Amino acid sequence: MDHHFGCTICGDCCKGLRVQLTRREALDWLERGHPVDLLADAAPWFEEPAENDERGRYTRARSFATVSGEVPVRITLRLTSNHTGPCANRLPDMKCAIYETRPLVCRIFPAYIFPFGGFDPANRLCPPEAWAPHNPVLIRDGACVDPATVELIALARATAAEDAAAGPALCADLGIRAAGLANEGYVAHTPEPAALAEALRRSLECPGGGTETGGGDWTVASNRRSTLDALNAAEARFEAMRASLVDGTRQYLGLFADEG
């Protein structure tokens, strides 16, 4: 099935969102005076994914290895800019103030970087006229076929892998050592903007520098009693966390209601 697409510049995808950023984009974002945080989740990783385990291999490529107590984990780190209202760069006429240098994720939307789960225009925010048949084909049989967008998706995946490799040193620099359990929640870290900008500069200037792995014991946080019990039984390092600010820089963002 073909999905034709042409942006109507309605601006709906530029509000009430977390814009995911590469390290370079996050530094640019901070230098423009907009806040950036880091979301971390931890996936238990007892064995490497099989050749045909595409999801496992996708997660592996975007994460780095470390431990939580006795449990090997892989940490996925996401630099994001959170907007409950309009994005800081959205102009009153719905155009983007940084259109020429907007983040990769904005260039790729409404196609997906995540390669699983199919494509459904109903899950995107674009109005019906954006999908009118006179527009060029963006998606064919679930896959992006627009050459420029295909190239951007490849670039986004390669950059995510580079950023993941730099994750241990960046986290060590910022003292970040807590993550949510993958598929349950994230720990959002909000370092002081100048400190984050400095750490990103160091990270970008010294791509091979820093620790090779997670460099220490990570804490896995959860808001669910059952998860905390399971982490305890597995001898992971864990912490109960609710969706409120902890010590001013950390917040638990759970996909489930508080439990226990």
**Number of other CB atoms surrounding residue 2 within 10 Å:** 12
Buried b (16+ CB within 10 A) or exposed e, 73-84: bbbbbbbbbbbe
| Burial group, residue 260, by CB count within 10 angstroms (0-12, 13-18, 19+) | exposed
Pattern 154-183, ligand SF4, x by CB under 6 A = ------------------------------
Q: 1 to 30, contacts with ligand SF4 by CB under 6 A?
A: 7-14, 19
Of 34, 35, 72, 96, the one binding ligand SF4 (CB under 6 A) is 96
Cα distances from 203 to residues 67, 88, 139, in angstroms, run: 22, 25, 36
Q: How far is the CB of 28 from ligand SF4 (least distance, A)?
A: 10
Question: CA–CA separation, 245 vs 242, rounded Å?
Answer: 8
- Output the smallest distance, CB 176 to ligand SF4, in A: 25
Under the criterion CB under 6 A, does residue 82 sit at the interface with ligand SF4? no
The answer to whether the beta carbons of residues 18 and 81 sit under 8 Å apart is: yes
149 in contact with ligand SF4 (CB under 6 A): no
Structure tokens at 31: 């230098």
Among the listed ranges 31-39, 48-56, 100-108, 158-166, the one in contact with ligand SF4 (CB under 6 A) is: 100-108
Residue 6 three-state SS = coil
- Of 27, 40, 73, 87, which lies in the binding site for ligand SF4, with binding defined by CB under 6 A? 87
C-alpha closest to that of 12 among 126, 136, 163: 126
Of 18, 34, 57, 102, the one binding ligand SF4 (CB under 6 A) is 102
Q: How far is the CB of 187 from ligand SF4 (least distance, A)?
A: 24
- Contacting ligand SF4 (CB under 6 A), which of 18, 69, 98, 211? 98
Question: In angstroms, what is the minimal distance from the CB of 243 to ligand SF4?
Answer: 24
Q: According to CB under 6 A, which residues from 103 to 132 bind ligand SF4? A: 103, 106, 109-110, 125-126, 130
Least distance from C-beta 76 to ligand SF4, angstroms?
21
DSSP state of 114: S
Amino acid at 34: H
How far lies 117's CA from each of 55, 76, 123, in Å? 11, 19, 11
Among 253, 6, 248, 206, residue whose Cα is nearest residue 126 = 6
**Residues at the contact surface with ligand SF4, assessed by CB under 6 A:** 7-14, 19, 87, 89-90, 96, 98, 102-103, 106, 109-110, 125-126, 130
